[in-house]
Structure formats: C-alpha cells, structure tokens
Amino acid sequence: MRRLATSAFCLALTAPTGQAQEATLPPSASVGFYGLPGLVDMPTGEALPDGELVTTVGSFAGITRTTLAFQFAPRISASFRYSALEDWDSDGFSTYYDRSFDLRLLLLTENEWRPSLTLGFQDFIGTGIYSGEFLAASKHFFDDRLTVSAGLGWGRLGSHGAIGSTGSRPDRDIGEGGKLEADQWFRGDFAPFGGLEWRPIDRLSIKAEYSSDNYDIEDGEKGIFERKSPYNFGIEYQLSEDVRIGAYSLYGSEFGLMASLAINPARPPQGGIRDAAPPPVLTRPSRSVRPDLYTVDWAESEDLRGQVTEMTSEAMLEQKLELEALRLTPTTATAFVRNAGYNAEAQALGRTARIMSRTMPSSIETFTIVQTARGGVRLPAVTLQRRDVETFEVQPDGAEQMQARRVTDTPVEAPHWSEFAPGIYPGFAWQVGPYLRTSLFDPDQPFRADLGINLGASWTPVPGLVFAGSVAKKLIGNLDDVTRELDLQLPHVRSDYALYDKHGDPWIQNLYGAYYFQPGGDFYGRVTAGYLERMFAGVSTELLWAPFDSNIALGAEINYARQRDFEGGFGLQDYDVVTGHASIYWEVVPQYHAQLDVGRYLAGDEGATLSVERVFENGWTVGAFATKTNVDDDEFGEGSFDKGITMSIPLEWFVGRSTRATSSFTMRPLTRDGGAKLSVPGRLHGIVDQGSERRLDDQWGRFWR
Amino acid sequence: MGTVLAMTIGRLHRGLYLALAGLLLLAACGTDRTGTSGMSTIRDVVGDLPKPSGAKPSGAAAMSPEALATINQPLMVVAIPDIETQAVLYVAATNGGVATWKASNNATVLMDGPVLFATRGIGPDLLSAETRALRQMLEAGRTGQYSRDLRYLDGLDQIVVVPLDCALNVQGNENLTIVNRSQPTRHMQEICRRPDGKQLRNEYWLGADGTLWQSRQWISDTLGYMATQRLVH
C-alpha cells in the first residue's frame, strides 16, 4: 500500500533527449574548397582538432569537390576527395569524376612567437589533376580574430606567379593511377600564396586570399571557366558547432558555395550516454550481526541453487544481459554472461556485479564474470571481490579502485550441463530488418543504392555450435542498372557484383554452420561451412592466439571457396580457390592498431594487406587499408591495387543510449578482382577482441554506470 | 538571431543524427529477450524527445498534506530547472551511509546524507563526488575551507576529475514551511570555484538532527543545479 502511494506521485526525472548543451563556439580551423584547413582555394598552416572528421561539399564553375577529411593524429591528417568537373569532355564523358587523396603533416604548432607550419601533399596517389605540394604557415592575432596565412606551393599550387624553381617537374605517368608519385614532389616552379581570415564576431568569417593556382587546364585546354584574377573572397557562417556554410567570389569570374559538417568522436551529439539507472548494490549485514545468513547449507540443495540461477537470470534480463550459466561453490560464483546491451564492456561487468550482489547467497565472497559471445565462446574471466563491489559503489574514486582491484585471467572451463540457465540451449532467434546497400563512384552514376528487407535466423543447439542463415529481397533501388563492362584479366571474383544485383533477387545472403572451440589457454578456433557470402560458398577454418593482456594477437585462416552463381540460390559456378592468410593484429600505441595479413587472395593472387586504424576509446574506428599482390598494374586494372577506407561508429554515440549495434562502412574508390578476401561471418578476432583488457580499460569509467 | 538560428539548427541536426543513425543501422526487430535491438533503442530515444505541448504534471503541488500523512517512508522532491523536470523520490537502497533515491522512471540520485554523491539515468550524469568531509561539517554545523573533487565521463567515456576549491559558511537559522509544516533549520552555504573560474553556490538547510530539509546543489554543466525538498522524514 505504501509503495503504491509512492509510485502514484512519482514523475519522470530525466533530461529529454537532445538537451546537450550549446557548447561554446568554435573555433576549429575553417576549411577551404579542398575540404581541409584553408582560406578559399588555398591551404593554411593549421590542423583540425584531433579526431575531427569533416565532410565538405564545395562548388564553383561547375567543379564540385566532396571531401572527407580526418585528423588521424594531432599532427597527421588524411583526406579522400571525389570531384566532379562538368564540361571536361574527356574519354567520352561530359562530366569527369576524379578521386584524390591528400596527406598533411603539422610540423610546428603555433605558440606565442611562431606560427603553425604544415607540410601538405595534395592528390598524391590519384590520377594527379590536383597534384601539388606546399608548405604553409598560419598565425592568429587579436584573440583569434585575425588569422594570417602564407605559403609556398609546387605543382598546381605553383602554377601562377612562380618566383623560382626546384628542378623540373616530371610529367605524371598516369597509367592505371593509384601510385605514389614521389619523383614529382617539390619539383618544378614554386609560387607564394596567402591571405587573411577575419572574424568580426564569433560565428562569422570574412576571407581574402591570393591564389597561386593558375587553373591551366580548366581555363585553357578545357575552357571550363575564365580565370581573370588571382584574388578570391569569401564569407562564412558557423551555423552550429558542427555546421559551417560559405559563399565566395573566385578568380574574378565565378561564384561559389560551400558547406561543411564536422563531427568528432569526442563530441557525441547527445552529450553522453544516458541509460536507466543501474540497480543499487545490496550490502550484506555483517557476519557478526547475522551469522545465520552466512551458512553454506544452500550449496547442498539443487533446488536452492536453481533458484539463485533463476533469480539472477531474471534480474539480468531487465538489465539487457543474459545469464548463460552460473557456477556456484559455497564461497564463489562464476557467471557466464551474454552482453546484449552495452557497447562498453565495463558497464556490462558493473551491472552484472551489482545484480550478483543482490542475488548471491551471503557466503559467496568472490564474483567471476565470463562474457560469452557467438553462441558460447568464452572470453577472458574477470574476478571481483564482493567486498570491493559493496565498498566502492559509493566511493568517489570507486571506478578507479575497481579497475585496480579486478583480476583478469584466461577463459575458464566451459560450464557443466547442470550449470546452464534454463531456456538458454537450444537457442533459436530470428530477426527481420531493412538493409541499405550502396555503390559509389561509377562514372555513369556516382551514387547508386538499394533498399530492401533482410530476414535472418539462427539456431544454437549446444554451446559453440551455430547454424545461421539470412535471405534478402530488394524493395527499391538501382544497383542493377550498372551497364559498365570491364575488360579485366583476373578471374571475376568481385567485379561481377552488378550481375548478382541483376539476377539474384531475392537471394540467400548466407547459410552456414559454424563450430567454435577453445583448445585451451589463449587459443580460439573456428570451422565454418556453407554459403558464406553472396559470391562464395565453402569451408573456412581459423585459429587465433589472443592473450587478453597482450597488444599482439596472431591468427591463421585457411579456406576453400567456390564461386556462387548470380541467381542467389544454391547453385555454384566452376571457379574455386584455396585462399587464406596469416595475420598479425597489433596495437602499436594506444588507439593505433595495425593488422598485417599475408596470404593468398580470392583470385589466386598472393600478397599482403596492411590496415591501419585509429580506435577511439568509445569504440569509434577510422582506418585505411591497402593490398598489394603479385599482379601487375595492367592485370589489376584501374587503381593498380586494392585500397579503401573503413569506418565504424557505435550507434550509442548517435542516440545516447547503450546498445551494441554498430554501423560499419568500407569504402573503396574502385572494386577490382585483385587482393580480394573471402568474407566469412563471425571471424574470431572481432569476437575475441571484445574481451581484451584494452576494451575493458577503454571505457572503464562506465563500470558504475 | 544567431543564437536562435543556431539552436534551431542544433535541434534540427540532432534530429538528423537520429534519422541518420536509424538509416545507417537499419536496425532490425526479431526475437529479442533483452530489448536491445537497434530499433528498440531508437524507439526509446524517439519516445524521449520533448513533446510539443501538454499539461505539465506538478509533482509536489499535487500532494496534499493528507496524502503525505499516510506515507511513512522518506520522500524527497527533486527539481532540475535547467531541464524543466521534477520528481518525487524514495529511498531504494542504502550503502555505507549513502542512500540511493529513486524516481519512478529509474533515474536515481545518490546522497551521502545531505550531500549529492552521484546521479544516474538523468542525463550526462555526475559520476561521483567527494562528500565525506563536507557531510561531517554540515552535520556538525562547522565552517571551513577545503577542496573536493567531482567526477564526470567525457565524450570518449574517460573519467574527468574536476577539483573544486570550496568554503562553507553559516547563513543563519531559518524556518522553512514544507507542506504546511514549519521546520526550523540551519542554512549553510558552500561556495566553490572550479579550475575554469566558474563559481558554484550550493545551499543546504538542515534540521537539528542533521536531516536535509532543503538544498540546491550543483550537478553538471548540462543539468545545472538540482533543488531538493524533503517531504516525509
């Protein structure tokens, strides 16, 4: 009755979503038409804030540049640019599409008496229409109201008003593109450029610059626009912390517009994660006060043990966790837990510990929590003392104390059949949801997409054994109207993607059985057989050695794959291949991860893939990869070798609520057949990495959240 | 104009972020014992978006002294003006002198006696606060100078310690009227300076037995201050 009276009056005590504070503005470096710190068309010596990811679209004279720039480290930034040049009329296209990569190094940071200094390489591996190098310096004055920048440019950036020359710049041998053109760097004429940015009020910038780019091709040969003057002017407005727009007068003849969106993993749009409050820790009366509570008779009773398991299991479900099994001794409890709800592993641990404090008999002094994944893979075990859980819930440095006191160890023995929670095995699950697939950068149509529906199901009869499959049906889209036929020399292991879209709808995305095993210690194993991906079926085996406390893991994967037919059913084509890799996964320094795979690829070519990623503490990753195999550039086709950009963003970062869902992208400027890898569902490293000490530590602050 | 426009845009593109999240994830539904599919998360969040209008429930005002007289467990009203919200909380647990006060929607406020220790489930929460010395001073009616830390999580989930330099002084004795009942209290004021120069002013009204009858205490930049009033002892 009392409880009723209370809850009847209780109201919500919650910040509505989106109440993140209007943070003080800005001022990160403003970007120019190339999407990197710049004035209008010229670069400055500044860098973006660390981790900043800026997307910029700028257009003038029928030239539209879309740039994704990333400040990979405080002093290193990289960007990918896709440009459309109207009326270029080359190779039979009226609009020419160009891909280019830039790299910038901040050599000196600004201080009281010196400017910042940046070394830049523009378009250093593309087809080279934007290629140029520069050295630029910037200095802020009058409380950042005025920024003065000046620099020296080579290549394109030294094409107007040259004041000297460093040898002669060799012509770029474009070939299939995609190569470093180091012999051009800082060669040929060089010319000065520079300008001012004035901020009369916080959100407004007025820019004026002198450009050293003569637009030789655009103004001359191609006649896209007339370059009448080297002076450019612009006015920019910061709409919000993330969005900036600008209008410009360029080269005395053209009007331009630009917009940029800046996001940063350190700046979540909702201001942080807001989950429902965790259950409070329940402290036990001391042994001297209630000795009866500390008896261990319960451990003898199958019935009481079952009750403890059931109670824990129910309490965990309410916290978006699933109890897979519970191992009890009179003084210890080991919970095998599936973390269904939390991107932060530490938060799942903390909530499990809180629940255990509420449901475990008082005689239990030690909690061991084993996270399980993919139908029973046991990740490293974390052991906490119950007394610590009780004490540090309410200490100011409670999180730090728990971190110092937790003990992590290699995975424990698998649960005995009697220890499983009811209803866990056999497990059946299905899901239905929409999918979005895109195809970028086809010169006929740079953006294509399909929206459809995807139905998946899985059955886990016993721990470690998973049968799963999914089918998909397109609802709307234009991926199937790719008409471009390529004359390629390697087996068509990836380049027939359009035929799959054309002929296979609906299709079986995958249908397979997977067996996970743990031979002991830090070893993990997997065998997967069936229809593994849309283009290949086969058998895949993998072994991984991944100590929980090491920054290195080693893996090996050997697969036999046979190409599937285009119809998306069970049919197979004749092409088959044995493919596989030895892999090293290495956290070089905190947040910077490298992976090297050496082996044989789908087209039978042999070589290596190097991936470099920045992994932020909150789970954001941004990286790039390149694969070089023993096919020469002609054989590979346009682009010369396989490369791309990867990004993965935890959904919780967007929505401000814990969820394990993550959206991941891989963007390749070109899809060819060389250096292609089999895509196997449920590869081990991604699963096992969740249990590493690094993952725990990265978000340990969420233990008590 | 700039601010209004920026705020509109800010709101617009937070909505955009959500839409983007929905699209990017294309979250699914299915057998989901734990309610953790991406779709259910998005649904939760959309459900939380401020509603355009509607009658505002009035927490403490809705309680008559008669209704309160029937309740014999501690109750406290907490209001957070910056986010225009208030709730009545009851004690869900205590641990080592720290009480977990809980609202019906699973938000909690942890109090070390009269001093705010932590919040959970409200917004960008206060992870923890150093409270022990301050509590003793408040309960004993002592004044003094001291430093204490607040802890938060930043956008990358890293613990940020914010050290405060504080002074506690006595403002005098005051009689408060709470739900038609007069409560004699001692009014204490705590003035703290943050490293960034911001000054925080916390106020505490304590009964002779140390009960906190009323207070105003700093939570965080996003949530601002909370105001508390004890309804049932």
Q: Report how far apart, in Å, the C-alpha atoms of A471 and of each of A456, A682, B164 are.
A: 6, 17, 58
- The CB-based long-range contact list for A91-96 (8 Å cut-off, 24+ gap) reads A93/A443
Pairwise CB contact (< 8 Å): B13 & A429: no
The pLDDT confidence band at residue A443, using thresholds 50, 70 and 90, is confident
Query: Quick check: B130 pLDDT over 90?
Result: yes
Identify the pLDDT of residue A28. 67
Answer yes or no: are the C-beta atoms of A244 and A237 closer than 8 Å.
Answer: yes
Rounded CA separation A536/A562 (Å): 6
**Chain B residue with Cα closest to A424:** B33
Pairwise CB contact (< 8 Å): A431 & B41: no
Identify the pLDDT of residue A292. 93
Helical residues (DSSP H) of A406-558, grouped into ranges: 497-503
The pLDDT confidence band at residue A437, using thresholds 50, 70 and 90, is confident
Q: Burial, A631: exposed, middle or buried (Cβ in 10 Å; 0-12, 13-18, 19+)?
A: buried
The pLDDT confidence band at residue B4, using thresholds 50, 70 and 90, is very low
CB pairs under 8 A between A and B: 289
The pLDDT confidence band at residue A16, using thresholds 50, 70 and 90, is very low
Set of chain B residues whose Cβ sits within 8 Å of the Cβ of A11: 57, 59, 85-88, 103-105
Handedness of CA B60, B65, B67, B72 (dihedral sign): positive
Query: Quick check: A12 pLDDT over 80?
Result: no
Pairwise CB contact (< 8 Å): B28 & A616: no
Pairwise CB contact (< 8 Å): A656 & B45: yes
Summary mean pLDDT of chain A = 91
Pairwise CB contact (< 8 Å): A433 & B88: no
Pairwise CB contact (< 8 Å): A651 & B30: no
Set of chain A residues whose Cβ sits within 8 Å of the Cβ of B63: 9
Rounded CA separation A321/A370 (Å): 12
User: What value does the mean pLDDT take over residues A547-555?
Assistant: 95
What is the DSSP code string of B113-180? TTEEEEEESSSS---EE--HHHHHHHHHT--EEEEEEEEEE-TTS-EEEEEEEEEEEEEEEEEEEETT
For chain B, what percent of residues have pLDDT higher than 90?
A: 60
Query: Quick check: B92 pLDDT over 60?
Result: yes
**Chain A residue with Cα closest to B85:** A13
Q: Which two tokens stand for residue A131?
A: 């290629």
Residue A100, beta-bridge partner list: A81
Q: Which two tokens stand for residue B16?
A: 């955009």
Set of chain B residues whose Cβ sits within 8 Å of the Cβ of A284: none
Pairwise CB contact (< 8 Å): B149 & A283: no
The pLDDT confidence band at residue A172, using thresholds 50, 70 and 90, is low
Distance from the Cα of B54 to chain A's closest Cα (Å) equals 15
Pairwise CB contact (< 8 Å): A396 & B125: no
- The CB-based long-range contact list for A213-220 (8 Å cut-off, 24+ gap) reads A213/A41, A213/A42, A213/A132, A213/A153, A213/A156, A213/A157, A213/A159, A213/A160, A214/A159, A214/A160, A215/A159, A215/A251, A216/A159, A217/A129, A218/A61, A218/A63, A218/A85
Selecting from B34, B78, B124 the residue whose C-beta is nearest the C-beta of A13 gives B78
Pairwise CB contact (< 8 Å): B28 & A431: yes
Query: Quick check: A599 pLDDT over 50?
Result: yes
pLDDT digits (tens, 9 = 90+) for A468-521: 999 999 999 988 887 777 778 899 999 999 899 999 999 999 999 999 999 988
**Chain A residue with Cα closest to B58:** A11
**Chain B residue with Cα closest to A278:** B120
Q: What are phi and psi of B119, to 5 degrees?
A: -125, 155
Selecting from A15, A19, A278 the residue whose C-beta is nearest the C-beta of B120 gives A278
Set of chain B residues whose Cβ sits within 8 Å of the Cβ of A203: 2, 6
Q: Report how far apart, in Å, the C-alpha atoms of A568 and of each of A471, A513, A533, A563 are.
A: 9, 18, 10, 11
Set of chain B residues whose Cβ sits within 8 Å of the Cβ of A6: 71, 73, 75, 88, 90
Query: Quick check: B72 pLDDT over 90?
Result: no
Distance from the Cα of A4 to chain B's closest Cα (Å) equals 10
Selecting from B35, B78, B110 the residue whose C-beta is nearest the C-beta of A320 gives B35
| Amino acid (one-letter) located at B47 | G
Pairwise CB contact (< 8 Å): B95 & A430: no
Selecting from A9, A10, A435 the residue whose C-beta is nearest the C-beta of B26 gives A435
Set of chain B residues whose Cβ sits within 8 Å of the Cβ of A12: 85, 87, 103-105, 107
For chain B, what percent of residues have pLDDT higher than 70?
A: 71
pLDDT digits (tens, 9 = 90+) for A356-395: 999 999 999 999 999 999 888 999 999 999 999 999 999 9
Set of chain B residues whose Cβ sits within 8 Å of the Cβ of A703: none
In eight-state DSSP terms, residue B210 is S
Set of chain B residues whose Cβ sits within 8 Å of the Cβ of A13: 78, 80, 85-87, 89, 103, 105, 107, 109, 121-122
Distance from the Cα of A454 to chain B's closest Cα (Å) equals 9
Set of chain A residues whose Cβ sits within 8 Å of the Cβ of B222: 15, 19-21, 271
Pairwise CB contact (< 8 Å): B128 & A239: no
Pairwise CB contact (< 8 Å): A661 & B38: yes
For the whole model, what pTM was predicted? 0.89
Query: Choosing among A1, A9, A25, which should be mutated to test the B contact, i.e. which has the most B CBs within 10 A?
Result: A9
Q: Mean pLDDT lowest for which of A168-182, A231-245, A251-265?
A: A168-182
Pairwise CB contact (< 8 Å): A431 & B48: no
User: What value does the mean pLDDT take over residues A306-318?
Assistant: 96
Pairwise CB contact (< 8 Å): B157 & A2: no
Better-predicted residue by pLDDT, A11 or A575: A575
Rounded CA separation A145/A110 (Å): 15
**Chain B residue with Cα closest to A436:** B26
User: What value does the mean pLDDT take over residues A154-165?
Assistant: 93
Query: Quick check: A66 pLDDT over 60?
Result: yes
Selecting from B27, B34, B149 the residue whose C-beta is nearest the C-beta of A661 gives B27
Rounded CA separation A67/A105 (Å): 18
**Chain B residue with Cα closest to A22:** B7
Identify the pLDDT of residue A25. 41
- SS3 assignment, position A309: helix
3-state SS of chain A: helix, strand, coil percent to 5? 15, 45, 40
Distance from the Cα of A242 to chain B's closest Cα (Å) equals 9
Pairwise CB contact (< 8 Å): B27 & A267: no
The pLDDT confidence band at residue A173, using thresholds 50, 70 and 90, is low
